[in-house]
Amino acid sequence: MNKIFGLAVAAALLTTMGACGGGGEATPAASGGTGGDETLTMGFAQVGAESGWRTANTKSIQESAKTAGIGLKFSDAQQKQENQIKAIRSYIQQKVDIIAFSPVVESGWDTVLKEAQTAKIPVILTDRAVDSSDTSLYVTFLGSDFVAEGKKAGDWAVKEFASASGVKVAQIEGTTGSAPAIDRAEGFAEVVKADPKFQIVASQTGDFTRAGGKQVAEALLKSNPDINLIYAHNDDMGLGAIEAIEAAGKTPGKDIKIITVDAVKDGMTALSEGKINFIVECSPLLGPQLMDLAKKVKAGETVEKRILTEEGTFTPEQAKAALPDRKY
């Protein structure tokens, strides 16, 4: 009888250890996820960690999910579309409640989004949109108006160079095929083409990275040493351009003026120092809004198809005033 009792106790202990150590509701959701036994689970496929903006965006999403009590399964695509598609399919298999992602590029999503739709898992697009004629494949888009950002950059350039006889512009684009790269170029071009003095002499991708921005700027300065303005699609590429300009023996912000987009802390610091002349804001702090949207969608509430974030612009003086309280 003692032997039988001992075996029963051992079996009970093994069962308890199995429940605590793996599987079931208590298992962490994924690398970087919140895990837990929340009533709502979100699978989020991030672009990568290519910039200060993206890092702040990831932090906002992870912290907001935790605060909202939402289980988060998080993946980093390392700027590769195939990695995001793989992550989304994994979330479908895991039967999450909501899928959210910031697409690396605009096109090529219909197939996987139809798979999510078939599985009755709603999709929320964040930061970047997709180029699809079937808008039923996603519930809503949360982010910025990138065309408007480009127009703001163009408006500043037109005013800044109002008395100039000619302006040679070098554009450092974001990731080829991505929504912000396409739209920021479109918005800027739409404004400056109305003024014949502006000539975009070169436009190359820096892939939204500081190293890419430096490399492109180095090449542009060699082929076009007399450029007057660099328009970079994000702060990181602008910061890389600053390094290239200084290495070429010129003064950024004076010899060559610089416009960037984002307004992350490093960019704002360079702006306050006069090395960047103008920044168009694009806020990465989308986490709270995303979690609110997820809860509404889960509850069956109707949400707007396109939800834009409110953003401004910054001059050097405005950057100095804003930096002490800057959250990213």
Shared-domain flag, residues 136 and 151: no
- Please tell me the total count of domains within the chain: 2
Within a domain: residue 290? yes
pTM, rounded to two decimals: 0.83
Looking at residue 16, its pLDDT comes to 33
Q: Which domain holds residue 217?
A: 146-282
In 3D space, the residue among 120, 197, 196 whose CA is nearest the CA of residue 165 turns out to be 197
Within a domain: residue 62? yes
- If one counts every other C-beta atom within 10 angstroms of the C-beta of residue 316, the result is 18
Q: Give the rounded distance of the alpha carbon of 72 from its chain centre.
A: 18
In 3D space, the residue among 172, 177, 186 whose CA is nearest the CA of residue 232 turns out to be 172
The two three-digit tokens of residue 10, written as one number: 């051992």
What residues contact 322, with CB distance under 8 A and at least 6 apart?
268, 314
* 8-state DSSP, 29: -
Residues paired with 281 in a beta bridge: 262
- Sign, CA dihedral 262-268-270-272, equals positive
Shared-domain flag, residues 69 and 122: yes
Per-residue pLDDT of the chain (328 residues; tens, 9 = 90+): 343 334 333 433 333 333 333 222 222 333 444 444 458 999 999 999 989 999 999 999 999 999 999 999 999 999 999 999 999 999 999 999 999 999 999 999 999 999 999 999 999 999 999 999 999 999 999 999 999 999 999 999 999 999 999 999 999 999 999 999 999 999 999 999 999 999 999 999 999 999 999 999 999 999 999 999 999 999 999 999 999 999 999 999 999 999 999 999 999 999 999 999 999 999 999 999 999 999 999 999 999 999 998 889 999 999 999 999 888 8
Q: How far apart are CA 51 and CA 127, in angstroms?
A: 14
The two three-digit tokens of residue 159, written as one number: 């005013």
In 3D space, the residue among 199, 191, 53, 71 whose CA is nearest the CA of residue 126 turns out to be 53
Within a domain: residue 213? yes
Q: How far apart are CA 128 and CA 296, in angstroms?
A: 21
The two three-digit tokens of residue 17, written as one number: 């250890």
Within a domain: residue 325? no
Shared-domain flag, residues 259 and 158: yes
Within a domain: residue 186? yes
Looking at residue 39, its pLDDT comes to 83
Looking at residue 310, its pLDDT comes to 82
In 3D space, the residue among 135, 139, 106, 107 whose CA is nearest the CA of residue 120 turns out to be 139
Q: Of the residues 282, 300, 320, which one is the last residue of a structural domain?
A: 282
CATH code of 155's domain: 3.40.50.2300
Looking at residue 327, its pLDDT comes to 81
Which stretches of the chain are DSSP H helices?
Answer: 2-21, 52-68, 81-93, 110-118, 146-160, 179-192, 210-223, 235-247, 265-272, 287-298, 316-322
